[in-house]
Structure 1
């Protein structure tokens, strides 16, 4: 799926987590991070073209795809966005990049947000695809959001209740996720879909993904509150994109308004809705997303 890209596996962090990824192209570095329930394969439709004038790195987050699945700990810290962000910063250092751009979708965008707060000196610019800040989402739950994001509240139930229920038909359940939130299952290329199915068929992978959500409802909120109390804000140019037919844009506030409050200055944050796209906007409209990323990275 990635043409001339080379594959790598790097063991990073104090808990020695293997991170799987691919690298290709030449030029200014950009890191691409996937979301749930996907892996780095989601970036295949844009990575080769972006690699014409950038060094493109696509990785699997810890717990996802072919990366390692460490223990999470009683506080779920092993799957916090802080731990995931630190993984990716070390990966980029090991590849020789002290500064880099990063684009993340879904959970990968939440990792990107944490990276912007924990490692502001490393990120030159960032793109956040189809999310609102985690603390904002939990602080603005209404019936519509709870219905659309029911999985946020299902996945955070104590292990192993969600794991056991999903095990009845894991691939069938995966298909309902990939075909939801305004997108269709047929938006996902067959090779990428097969990669997601292989991972989701693994009980250890499913547990790791749920631990990501358990961390999101606990220790990640603690980290967010501490950052907010310390006055930490996004301090680099940031692009915000969301699916016009998805859930994020249905919020009472514009995603741009929300993210501009999260930055040191509103002019740092630009972006728009992609008409007709659902949550999986990279898969549905790869050419549009590629154009937006290229224009942003060159600006």
Structure 2
């Protein structure tokens, strides 16, 4: 995977971030979701690198990135700290202005990155999410049933950690089978996800990510409620997934930016970069070069 890309490990003020980078042109940061790693981008990154300087990074707590100790408020796993990592990574690579494409958790980090580093993020693409604040503040039975893991993973340590850790391969395989097309995840990518997720530190850190989202992240989001972004946002979601059934994503995202919001449903489940890479490339080409 990522033929021709360079692998790097960059020390930030809070941890160490593992990434691959390649290509030439404007900066483009790709951020993965749960329970994956930067490997989710392997089908689209080479094509994007023909026009952009692509950086595909592991979020703190995931993949081969660092997993710093936590605290009672789960501050080290707040989206603010995770976004700070990525801003510092891009600075270390000499890229001061860039666009962000995030899937799942990575889209939530991308949203916070665009808020906290407004002068640096030019465009934001979010894949298969609505904003965390909206999702928690409108929770109902349909949401809680579909997103049960949001409420399981936030339970106090080390309850979910022990249950997941008893058979991490089974848990991760079941999570990834939310795909509309299970064959979309290649054997090589699956092996990478399993390798990383078998680490108890990854299981714990990923739970901390969700615990932060249910607490300190909501505090930060509420503080920003009256300060919308002013950049273009592309929102895509899988028509076979959940987001489009529970929300009107374009309308929701329009409340978060004064810039234009475009996008729509694509013929996939949750894992858009692996299920419909060609469609994603077409959408990103129009959005990023527009």
Please show how residues 164-179 of structure 1 align to structure 2 within 5 Å: 164-179=162-177
Please show how residues 56-205 of structure 1 align to structure 2 within 5 Å: 56-180=54-178, 182-205=179-202
Following the alignment from structure 1 to structure 2, what is the Cα–Cα distance between the partners of residues 111 and 235? 17
Following the alignment from structure 1 to structure 2, what is the Cα–Cα distance between the partners of residues 234 and 189? 36
Q: Alpha-carbon deviation of 1:186?
A: 2.5
Deviations 1:161-186 (A, max 9, x none): 11111122111010110111x53432
| Residue 209 (structure 2) pairs with residue 217 (structure 1) | no
| Residue 236 (structure 2) pairs with residue 262 (structure 1) | no
Deviations 1:217-248 (A, max 9, x none): 000001001111xx221211111100011010
Deviations 1:184-241 (A, max 9, x none): 432211111111101111111100000000000000001001111xx22121111110
Following the alignment from structure 2 to structure 1, what is the Cα–Cα distance between the partners of residues 151 and 223? 23
Match of 1:283 in 2: 274
Following the alignment from structure 2 to structure 1, what is the Cα–Cα distance between the partners of residues 140 and 95? 42
Q: Equivalent residue of 1:191, what SS?
A: helix
Checking the alignment, whether the CA contact within 8 Å between 2:239 and 2:269 is kept in structure 1 is: yes
Deviations 1:100-155 (A, max 9, x none): 01100000000011011111101011101100000111111121211110000000
Gaps of 5+ in 1: none
Match of 2:10 in 1: 10
Q: Equivalent residue of 1:264, what SS?
A: coil
Q: Alpha-carbon deviation of 1:88?
A: 0.3
Q: Alpha-carbon deviation of 1:23?
A: 0.6
Following the alignment from structure 1 to structure 2, what is the Cα–Cα distance between the partners of residues 141 and 203? 30
Checking the alignment, whether the CA contact within 8 Å between 2:232 and 2:257 is kept in structure 1 is: no
Following the alignment from structure 2 to structure 1, what is the Cα–Cα distance between the partners of residues 31 and 288? 16
Following the alignment from structure 1 to structure 2, what is the Cα–Cα distance between the partners of residues 247 and 234? 25
| Aligned-CA RMSD value | 1.0
Following the alignment from structure 2 to structure 1, what is the Cα–Cα distance between the partners of residues 182 and 154? 25
Following the alignment from structure 1 to structure 2, what is the Cα–Cα distance between the partners of residues 93 and 269? 27
Deviations 1:39-67 (A, max 9, x none): 00000100001111111110000000000
**What TM-score results when the alignment is normalised by the length of structure 2?**
0.98
Checking the alignment, whether the CA contact within 8 Å between 1:109 and 1:128 is kept in structure 2 is: yes
Deviations 1:73-111 (A, max 9, x none): 111010000001110011001100110011000000000
**What TM-score results when the alignment is normalised by the length of structure 1?**
0.95
